């Protein structure tokens, strides 16, 4: 994973979620909490999509469902939208039990991966469509369309056809069409996945700013770890229909609860503990001293916590090895270091000093407080 510390720094500057926010015209915008109790969903006889999910999302929170394909995150989003029915369990939105409510009876809108825009209509007509279906008068429709178009900075494009817009502009229109009806909860099903990397990064920031400005509850689905860390107040990592861990981006990245979460977050420096004597453990990369009370069968060493020194230096948590690979990435370099029969990854920030090269004998130093123990 590239430059994880930069991702961490950005996520830590996030505004705290609020119960509501003030709109441009001074009105208080609604934000609803979500509570799921024992949600089960099965497709056919063998495919378990959700296995008793219990989850609470706070009002005004940017909450992300993260996991690999087939983990259940999209199924969970579709149940929230009312597009799928749970086999069992209860769904409460804004204090109201909506388990049996159809989609149009829920104050929820969805932005789909495909955008689902009407290509034969103009931007203005796309934005006004939901309002018209709800019986909103023409004058009020026009005011709301103008307001939301300005919010996403596309007010000058309202009279263009959808097929005249770029992918990034279409994504903004899909977001605006979902926002214009002022739902209490906005659901986003990987809406940025079809965009190129540069535009995707730009729209991540814009989407986060819109959410904080409106104070609305956002539930975001993605399989992209960096995207989840940059944008989320909290993240739920799913696998095989079960929630593995819920926490802030920092908690999920720095202290994964098990091996699955650690590997999914991009951590490769995971080593089985073969012997343990008090705080000292034996691993394939050598003997390590942990903080007191650490338990678990595996130890995680994050690449950015390693200090790389030239030559072999003895000491506690000093691991001697030889560089076999270096990837220069501008702001930092990524190293693969051979240690005995195994290897370890390290990330070294580029401060303008000499960077070690392939073939150099080095010592990797890690603090006990940066070592994380976890279970399978």
Residue 232 lies in a domain: yes
55 pLDDT more than 60: yes
Residue 263 lies in a domain: no
How far apart, in whole angstroms, are the C-alpha atoms of residue 338 and residue 89? 50
* Percent above pLDDT 90 for the chain: 56
> Among the three residues 258, 276, 293, which one is the final residue of a domain in this structure?
258
> Among the three residues 258, 277, 304, which one is the final residue of a domain in this structure?
258
232 pLDDT more than 80: yes
Q: How confident is the model at residue 30 (pLDDT cuts 50, 70, 90)?
A: low
Looking up residue 347, the CATH number of its domain turns out to be: 2.40.50.140
Mean per-residue pLDDT, 227-235: 94
Mean per-residue pLDDT, 261-290: 94
Residue pLDDT, tens place only, 85-103: 999 999 999 999 999 999 9
Looking up residue 222, the CATH number of its domain turns out to be: 3.40.50.300
Whether residues 253 and 272 fall in one domain: no
Whether residues 183 and 320 fall in one domain: no
Q: Are 217 and 25 within 8 A, CB to CB?
A: no
Whether residues 231 and 299 fall in one domain: no
Q: Parallel, antiparallel, or unpaired for β 234-239 and 62-66?
A: parallel
Whether residues 169 and 220 fall in one domain: yes
Whether residues 320 and 239 fall in one domain: no
Tell me the angle at which helices 167-179 and 197-214 cross, rounded to the nearest 10 degrees. 20
Rounded mean pLDDT of the chain? 86
Q: Are 195 and 113 within 8 A, CB to CB?
A: no
Whether residues 50 and 97 fall in one domain: yes
Whether residues 79 and 171 fall in one domain: yes
Q: Tell me how many domains the chain contains.
A: 2
Whether residues 157 and 298 fall in one domain: no
What's the pLDDT score for residue 124?
86
Comparing CA positions, the residue from 22, 29, 176 lying closest to residue 94 is 29
Whether residues 142 and 223 fall in one domain: yes
As beta bridge partners, residue 220 has 64, 188
Whether residues 240 and 273 fall in one domain: no
How far apart, in whole angstroms, are the C-alpha atoms of residue 104 and residue 99? 13
3 pLDDT more than 60: no
Q: Are 238 and 252 within 8 A, CB to CB?
A: no
What's the pLDDT score for residue 102?
93
Residue 336 domain boundaries? 268-374
> Among the three residues 228, 258, 288, which one is the final residue of a domain in this structure?
258
Mean per-residue pLDDT, 283-289: 95
Which H helix or E strand runs over 148? Answer: helix 138-151
For 308, the 3-state DSSP assignment is strand
């Amino acid at each position: 994973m590239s430059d994880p510390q930069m991702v961490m720094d950005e996520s830590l500057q996030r505004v705290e979620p609020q119960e509501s926010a003030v709109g441009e015209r001074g009105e208080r915008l609604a934000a609803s909490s979500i509570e799921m109790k024992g949600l089960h969903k099965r497709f056919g006889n063998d495919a378990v999509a959700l296995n008793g999910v219990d989850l609470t999302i706070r009002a005004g929170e940017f909450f992300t469902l993260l996991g690999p394909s087939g983990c259940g995150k999209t199924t969970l989003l579709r149940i929230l939208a009312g597009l799928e029915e749970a086999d069992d369990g209860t769904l409460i939105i804004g204090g109201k039990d909506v388990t049996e409510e159809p989609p149009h009876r829920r104050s929820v809108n969805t932005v789909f991966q495909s955008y689902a825009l009407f290509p034969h209509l103009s931007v203005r007509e796309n934005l006004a469509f939901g309002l018209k279906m709800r019986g909103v008068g023409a004058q009020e429709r026009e005011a709301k369309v103008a307001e939301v178009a300005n919010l996403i900075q596309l007010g000058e494009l309202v009279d263009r056809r959808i097929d005249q817009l770029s992918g990034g502009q279409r994504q903004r229109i899909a977001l605006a069409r979902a926002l214009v009806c002022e739902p209490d909860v906005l659901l986003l099903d990987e809406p940025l996945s079809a965009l190129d990397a540069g535009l995707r990064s730009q729209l991540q920031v814009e989407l986060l700013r819109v959410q904080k400005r409106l104070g609305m509850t956002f539930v975001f689905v993605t399989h992209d770890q960096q995207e989840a860390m940059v944008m989320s107040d909290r993240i739920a990592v799913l696998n095989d229909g079960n929630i593995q861990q819920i926490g802030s981006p920092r908690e999920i990245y720095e202290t994964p609860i098990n091996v699955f979460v650690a590997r999914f977050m991009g951590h490769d420096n995971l080593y089985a503990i073969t012997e343990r004597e008090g705080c000292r453990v034996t691993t394939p990369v050598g003997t390590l001293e942990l903080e007191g009370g650490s338990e678990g069968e595996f130890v995680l060493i994050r690449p950015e916590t390693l200090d790389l020194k030239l030559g072999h230096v003895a000491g506690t948590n000093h691991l001697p090895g030889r560089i076999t690979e270096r990837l220069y990435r501008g702001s930092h370099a990524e190293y693969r270091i051979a240690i005995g029969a195994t290897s370890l990854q390290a990330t070294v920030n580029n401060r303008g000093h000499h960077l070690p090269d392939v073939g150099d004998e080095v010592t990797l130093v890690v603090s006990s407080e940066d070592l994380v123990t976890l279970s399978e």
